[in-house]
Structure 1
């Protein structure tokens, strides 16, 4: 069941006008027809259908009624609206930074739950666990090995292309072999700024300290080794982009289709892109490799990622102990029940962050992420970007992609943004 905030309010008005039990309102009361009622906020659009189907079967199999809701608003704005109206969700799927901002006043301490020992991706604040990790997501360069192997005449081994020189040599070989434009570049602001530019921060020795120095105006990005290494790689992706002549008009779906069907071989992205790729005549001979770059810090052998989306359980007086108990049971079902494990891996095509979930990840991008995660080869995501980071710097990055400004000017735009940005790093 999908319902916007407006729809939710209309729903409440209908309930009140009809003199129906207030227990039907999210977070208010706990029983209807003898069953405890819980509401779940899902902020991951691509699994909304799966969440709704799961809620139906879970409600049938357990002594609880589950309703799932989705909103296209930003998570922080939507949650603020719900708390302001005293209509919180029993369980809310939020981003990492939201856990830090909400935990003290709105989240239950989950430290005593058995699943805490099964993951290293949960969010703890002050020694207490508040954030239940839903999945692991990671970023890197997605590859389709089919067109590569057709030209190089051997199995594609991503480990052979960790440096920029190695990657450039492969690009040259592919072009000589008939693949005129081996790459695709997504123009979306979130891909450019939140994901690619994000790696400039995440691959620093201390990301939080680096961002503090950016905020204080102490960083000269034009002389920063990591910024230049990653931008050197981006320049190679940009120069060999099938849409190089009009890069900021390239549609994501077209890029994903070309990658899926082997018209291009590489595109920066994450395992979430499988939700788009699998809509086409895709190759299963795909995977992810770390962003190739000239560096000696080993970051070119690691993906960037970690826990993605976190459930919190509402602690306010608008939620009853029965509802909180049912919510905890639901989280335990995800981790320990075969049906719950299958829901995450098979139904939602997500990578489980829990060690006891040994189900094989079906899609090749997720399988790559799991392999890197299982071997400790993930650089942690930095989850505390200001809300306007990807829109402001995404627009700046698009200018660079379009050739409207050079690297030096792009760097100055980034520096200018951070000098006035609101720092949202967590307090442990």
Structure 2
């Protein structure tokens, strides 16, 4: 989640065939070609223009190139990118499009934003079975919002403490085994060795989305491995019936944050938050660890002179190795493709369904998303191996069932990470202490009661 946080939907084949038959009965060759590609938008000569609102800003260029490929295969469909920059202005831009009466046909958004504006998007229940057949077990269930299918996941992402294996290996004098870090004390002992070897142990990216949506957001997901239980916990926060200052998971997480602050390579100026520089410095060995997600490969992968081997550790929250969270990485389907139902025509909606199915199933799309961008796609028929060692490392945790489901954040107010992120930034630079941070976070949640 980088709120980059990571694209996808489709159209049922029965509809494809019925439209093909209706539009071009006399051209069986053309019909066969269109049917085999899963498209229902370009079987007539009518031009269709789609707009695509993208919040996976780190791969704007990947999408633009895919739109060109799709245009070659479907000449009657033109797709225009509406790009966004990384950071907090994405939501405002989306809201302005809605207010202008010119919403994007397809929106690649955080699941929580789609939930907030669920009445503006097309109900995709008729598509659900098809995507369940295409997806890995549980992937579609994980994308449901209050049980409704209104957005299709295109990526699955994880985050935690990324590590540069060369730097860690050199510091400890042997090949690093990530399974040896089971507790906070284990992590600190390793940090001390890295510092003694003359390297910065860790980079904390000081942006509000990283500090709140990713780091502090873990506090709400670590209450239970059940999303509904975590939703109840947040409702109790809103009502003021639980106290974070006495909550074990929250305090354990913040104790670890204090450790990260102590060894932060950016502690001289922690709020600069230059994502490209932080990612590049980590990739080239300026720091051993980086609190971030596998999506950072979009920046790291193309870098010249970078190191080759990377992995990921869970963020340890206690000195009891058995505590939930010490052995589990945060994992979610952070971005969904949703189709506008407030200003788009039926022709645009059908073309959007076909395009999104192509994005999931085509080799061209998988080469770009998995191979080039290094993202993971939660689907079975993957034609391309991931180029992203971080994503591959997260996949091992997933296969072993060692994940923290952070789906509770899908139900949070849209401003939660910017507001609580500002509090986390103050804590990062020691403008407030733990008690002050906790009060500001709890006050925020109380202000959202009934909303």
Q: TM-score range by the shorter chain?
A: 0.7 to 0.9
How much does 1:144 deviate? 0.6
Residues in 2 aligned to 1:103 and 1:185: alpha-carbon distance in whole angstroms: 34
Going from structure 1 to structure 2, the CA distance change for 1:110 and 1:91 (only over 3 Å counts) comes to farther
Is the aligned partner of 1:216 residue 2:239? Answer: yes
Q: How does 1:334-413 map to 2 (within 5 A)?
A: 334-357=359-382, 359-381=384-406, 382-413=409-440
Going from structure 1 to structure 2, the CA distance change for 1:135 and 1:208 (only over 3 Å counts) comes to same
Residues in 1 aligned to 2:216 and 2:423: alpha-carbon distance in whole angstroms: 11
Residues in 2 aligned to 1:106 and 1:383: alpha-carbon distance in whole angstroms: 16
**Structure 1 stretch displaced more, 78-87 or 361-370:** 78-87
Going from structure 1 to structure 2, the CA distance change for 1:354 and 1:375 (only over 3 Å counts) comes to farther
Going from structure 1 to structure 2, the CA distance change for 1:153 and 1:370 (only over 3 Å counts) comes to same
Match of 1:268 among 280, 291, 294: 291
Residues in 2 aligned to 1:163 and 1:135: alpha-carbon distance in whole angstroms: 30
Q: How does 1:12-23 map to 2 (within 5 A)?
A: none
Equivalent residue, structure 2, for 1:418: 445
**Structure 1 stretch displaced more, 195-204 or 338-347:** 338-347
Equivalent residue, structure 1, for 2:27: none
Match of 1:203 among 222, 226, 236: 222
Match of 1:158 among 162, 174, 178: 178
Residues in 1 aligned to 2:97 and 2:273: alpha-carbon distance in whole angstroms: 37
Equivalent residue, structure 2, for 1:106: 121
Equivalent residue, structure 1, for 2:166: 146
* Per-residue CA distance 1:61-110 (angstroms, 9 max, x = gap): 12532223224385554444434444333322122123223334531324
How much does 1:328 deviate? 1.8
CA RMSD of aligned residues (A): 2.6
* Per-residue CA distance 1:255-284 (angstroms, 9 max, x = gap): 333311112111211112223334353212
Equivalent residue, structure 2, for 1:8: none
Is the aligned partner of 1:290 residue 2:309? Answer: no
How much does 1:310 deviate? 0.8
Going from structure 1 to structure 2, the CA distance change for 1:314 and 1:281 (only over 3 Å counts) comes to same
* Per-residue CA distance 1:97-139 (angstroms, 9 max, x = gap): 2322333453132433522333333333565422110211221
Going from structure 1 to structure 2, the CA distance change for 1:380 and 1:423 (only over 3 Å counts) comes to farther
Equivalent residue, structure 2, for 1:93: 108
Match of 2:131 among 108, 111, 115: 115
* Unaligned 5+ runs, structure 1: 1-28
* Per-residue CA distance 1:12-67 (angstroms, 9 max, x = gap): xxxxxxxxxxxxxxxxx999964333332222211111111111111111253222
Going from structure 1 to structure 2, the CA distance change for 1:74 and 1:133 (only over 3 Å counts) comes to farther
How much does 1:249 deviate? 4.2
SS at match of 1:418: helix
Equivalent residue, structure 1, for 2:192: 172
| Number of aligned residue pairs | 394
How much does 1:422 deviate? 5.8
Going from structure 1 to structure 2, the CA distance change for 1:244 and 1:99 (only over 3 Å counts) comes to closer
How much does 1:334 deviate? 2.2
* Unaligned 5+ runs, structure 2: 1-40
The answer to whether the 8 A contact 2:154-2:360 is kept is no
How much does 1:298 deviate? 3.1
SS at match of 1:300: coil
> Larger relative CO (CA 8 A, sep 6+): 1 or 2?
2
SS at match of 1:182: strand
Is the aligned partner of 1:300 residue 2:357? Answer: no
Residues in 1 aligned to 2:203 and 2:120: alpha-carbon distance in whole angstroms: 44
How much does 1:391 deviate? 2.4
How much does 1:352 deviate? 0.4
Residues in 2 aligned to 1:33 and 1:94: alpha-carbon distance in whole angstroms: 31
Equivalent residue, structure 1, for 2:282: 259
The answer to whether the 8 A contact 1:75-1:94 is kept is no
Residues in 2 aligned to 1:282 and 1:268: alpha-carbon distance in whole angstroms: 18
How much does 1:250 deviate? 6.1
The answer to whether the 8 A contact 2:112-2:414 is kept is no
SS at match of 1:111: helix
Residues in 2 aligned to 1:233 and 1:283: alpha-carbon distance in whole angstroms: 27
